[in-house]
Amino acid sequence: MTAYRLASGGLIDRSAPLDFRFDGRNLTGFSGDTLASALLANDQLLVGRSFKYHRPRGIVTAGPSEPNALVTIGKGADSDPNTKATVAELYSGLDAHSQNRFPSLKYDFGAVNGLLSPFLGAGFYYKTFMWPAAFWEKVYEPIIRKAAGLGRAVLERDPQAYEKCWAHCDLLVIGSGPTGLMAALTAGRAGLRVILADEDFRLGGSLLGETARVNDASAQDFTETVLAELRSLPNVTMMPRTTVFGWYDDNVFGAVERVQKHVALPQAKLPVERLWRIAAKRALLATGAEERPLVFGGNDRPGVIMAGAMRTYANRFGVAAGKSVAIFTNGSAGYRTAADLAAHGVEIAAIIDSRAEGADVAPDGVRVIRSASVIDTKGRQRVCGAVVERSGFEQTIACDAIAMSGGWNPVIHLACQRGAKAIWSEDLKTFLAPDVGNGLVVAGAAAGRYTLAGCLKDGAEKAVVIAADLGFSTVSHTAPAVEGEIDPSFTALWYSPGAKAKAFVDFQNDVHVKDIGLALREGFGHVEHAKRYTTNGMATDQGKLSGINATGLLAAMQGISPADVGTTTFRPFYTPVAFGALAGTSRDEHAAPVRKSPLHGWAQRNGAVFVDSGLWFRPAYFSRGGEKTWRESTDREVRNIRENAGLCDVSTLGKIEVFGPDAAEFLNRLYCNPFLKLPVGKARYGLMLREDGMVYDDGTTSRLSHEHFVMTTTTALAGGVMSHMEYCAQVHWPDLKVRFCSSTDQWAQMAIAGPKARLVLQALVEDDISDAAFPFLAAGAVTLRGGLKARLFRISFSGELAYELAVPAGLGEAVADAVMEEGMAHGICAYGLEALNVLRIEKGHVTHAEFAGRVTPDDAGFGRMVSAQKPDFIGKRLSTRYGLTAADRMQMVGLKPVEPDQHIRAGAHLLREGAKPSTLNDQGYVSSACFSPTLGHDIALAFLKSGRERYGERVVVWDKLAGAEVVAEICNPVFVDPGNTKLNS
Amino acid sequence: MASLIHCPHCGVRPKEEFSIRGDASLIRPDPEASDEAWNDYVHIRSNPRGRYREHWQHVAGCRRWLVVERDTFTHEVFAVTDAASSAREAGR
Amino acid sequence: MSRTYISRHPLDDLLPLEPGIRAVDHLDVPRSSAIVSVMAMDGEEASVTAGLAASGDVSIRFTGPGEWLAVSQSETPESLHRNLSLLLAETAYFVDQSDGRVVFRLSGPNVRRILAKGIATDLHPAIFEVGTSSNVLCGHISINLARTGENEFELIVMRSFAIALFDDLKVMGREFDLSAGFSVRG
Ligand SMILES: [Zn+2]
Q: Which of C67, C122, C137 is the closest to B60 by Cβ? A: C137
Q: Hey, of A160, A162, A165, A733, which one would you mutate to test binding to chain C, going by the most C CBs within 10 A of its CB?
A: A165
Per-residue pLDDT of chain B (92 residues; tens, 9 = 90+): 689 999 999 999 999 999 999 999 999 999 999 999 999 999 999 999 999 999 999 999 999 999 999 999 999 999 999 999 888 887 65
Please, which pLDDT band fits residue A112 given cuts at 50, 70 and 90?
low
In order of their start, the domains of chain A are: 1-152 (3.10.20.440), 163-289+411-483 (3.50.50.60), 293-406 (3.50.50.60), 493-565 (1.10.10.1100), 601-624+631-652+746-840 (3.30.1360.120), 654-745 (3.30.70.1400), 885-985 (2.40.30.110)
Which residues in chain A are contacts of B23 at CB distance < 8 A?
none
pLDDT in tens, A225-250: 999 999 999 999 999 999 999 999 99
Q: What percent of chain A has pLDDT over 70?
A: 95
pLDDT in tens, A407-459: 999 999 999 999 999 999 999 999 999 999 999 999 999 999 999 999 999 99
Q: Which of A279, A747, A811 is the closest to C5 by Cβ? A: A811
How far is the centre of ligand 1, averaged over its atoms, from the C-alpha of B11 (Å)? 7
How far is the centre of ligand 1, averaged over its atoms, from the C-alpha of A586 (Å)? 25
Can you tell me the mean pLDDT for A465-471? 97
* Predicted local confidence at residue A561, as pLDDT: 97
Please state the domain count of chain B.
1
Q: Hey, of C69, C99, C115, C121, which one would you mutate to test binding to chain A, going by the most A CBs within 10 A of its CB?
A: C99
Neighbours of chain C (3+ CB pairs under 8 A): A, B
Check A818 against C175: CB less than 8 A apart.
no
* Predicted local confidence at residue A50, as pLDDT: 80
CATH 3.30.70.3220-classified regions of chain C: 34-96
Helix (H) or strand (E) holding A513: helix A513-521
* Predicted local confidence at residue A54, as pLDDT: 81
Q: What is the ipTM of this complex?
A: 0.98
**Nearest Cα residue in chain B from C132:** B10
Please, which pLDDT band fits residue A55 given cuts at 50, 70 and 90?
confident
Choice between A535 and A701, residue whose per-residue pLDDT is larger: A701
For C34-96, CATH gives 3.30.70.3220
Q: Given this structure, which CATH class describes domain C26-31+100-182?
A: alpha beta
Q: Hey, of C159, C161, C169, C175, which one would you mutate to test binding to chain A, going by the most A CBs within 10 A of its CB?
A: C159
Check C139 against A590: CB less than 8 A apart.
yes
Is A37 in a helix, a strand, or coil?
A: helix
Instruction: Kindly list the strands in the beta sheet with A217-218, ordered across the sheet, starting from the edge strand earlier in the chain.
Output: A217-218, A213-214, A482-483
* Predicted local confidence at residue A943, as pLDDT: 98
* Predicted local confidence at residue A99, as pLDDT: 86
Can you tell me the mean pLDDT for A33-62? 91
pLDDT in tens, A536-562: 998 888 899 999 999 999 999 999 999
pLDDT in tens, A746-801: 999 999 999 999 999 999 999 999 999 999 999 999 999 999 999 999 999 999 99
Instruction: Measure B92 CA to nearest chain A CA, in Å.
Output: 7
What one-character-per-residue DSSP string does C118-170 give? Answer: T--S---TTTS-TT-EEEEEETTEEEEEEEEETTEEEEEEEGGGHHHHHHHHH
Please, which pLDDT band fits residue A126 given cuts at 50, 70 and 90?
low
**Nearest Cα residue in chain C from B6:** C121
Please, which pLDDT band fits residue A368 given cuts at 50, 70 and 90?
very high
With beta carbons less than 8 A apart as the criterion, state whether A785 and A765 touch.
yes
Choice between A795 and A139, residue whose per-residue pLDDT is larger: A795
Q: Which of A279, A594, A601 is the closest to C8 by Cβ? A: A601
pLDDT in tens, A200-214: 999 999 999 999 999
CATH code for the domain of B12? 3.30.2270.10
pLDDT in tens, A565-582: 999 999 999 999 999 999
Neighbours of A821 (CB within 10 A): 14
Can you tell me the mean pLDDT for A496-513? 93
Q: In terms of residue numbers, what domain contains B9?
A: 4-89
With beta carbons less than 8 A apart as the criterion, state whether A298 and A186 touch.
no
* Predicted local confidence at residue C186, as pLDDT: 45
φ, ψ (nearest 5 deg) of residue A308: -65, -35
Q: Is A43's pLDDT higher than 80?
A: yes
A143-147, A174-178, A520-524: which has the minimum mean pLDDT? A143-147
**Nearest Cα residue in chain C from B64:** C64
Pairing outcome for strands A13-22 and A95-98? parallel
Please, which pLDDT band fits residue A512 given cuts at 50, 70 and 90?
very high
Check C140 against A592: CB less than 8 A apart.
yes
Which residues in chain C are contacts of B82 at CB distance < 8 A?
65
Cα separation, A655 vs A741, whole angstroms: 9
Neighbours of chain A (3+ CB pairs under 8 A): B, C
Cis peptide before A573 (omega within 30 of 0): yes
**Nearest Cα residue in chain A from B25:** A731
**What rounded mean pLDDT belongs to chain A?**
94
* Predicted local confidence at residue A759, as pLDDT: 97
**Helices (runs of H) and strands (runs of E) counted in chain B:** 2, 6
The interface residues of chain C toward chain A in range 109-128, judged by CB-CB distance below 8 A, are 113, 116-117, 119-120, 122, 124, 127
Instruction: Measure C151 CA to nearest chain A CA, in Å.
Output: 16
Please, which pLDDT band fits residue A264 given cuts at 50, 70 and 90?
confident
Neighbours of A723 (CB within 10 A): 16
Relative orientation angle of helices A513-521 and A527-534, to the nearest 10 degrees: 120
Cα separation, A541 vs A576, whole angstroms: 8
Cα separation, A408 vs A430, whole angstroms: 7
Cα separation, A649 vs A836, whole angstroms: 10
C5 Cβ under 8 Å from any chain A Cβ: yes
CATH 3.30.1360.120-classified regions of chain C: 26-31+100-182
Please, which pLDDT band fits residue A476 given cuts at 50, 70 and 90?
confident
Per-10-residue mean pLDDT for chain C, 186 residues long?
A: 88 85 95 97 94 90 98 94 93 98 98 98 97 97 98 98 97 96 78
φ, ψ (nearest 5 deg) of residue A240: -75, 170
* Predicted local confidence at residue C17, as pLDDT: 74
Neighbours of A950 (CB within 10 A): 16
A68-82, A823-837, B66-80: which has the minimum mean pLDDT? A68-82
pTM above 0.90, yes or no: yes
Which residues in chain B are contacts of A249 at CB distance < 8 A?
1-4, 75
* Predicted local confidence at residue C89, as pLDDT: 87
Can you tell me the mean pLDDT for A331-335? 96
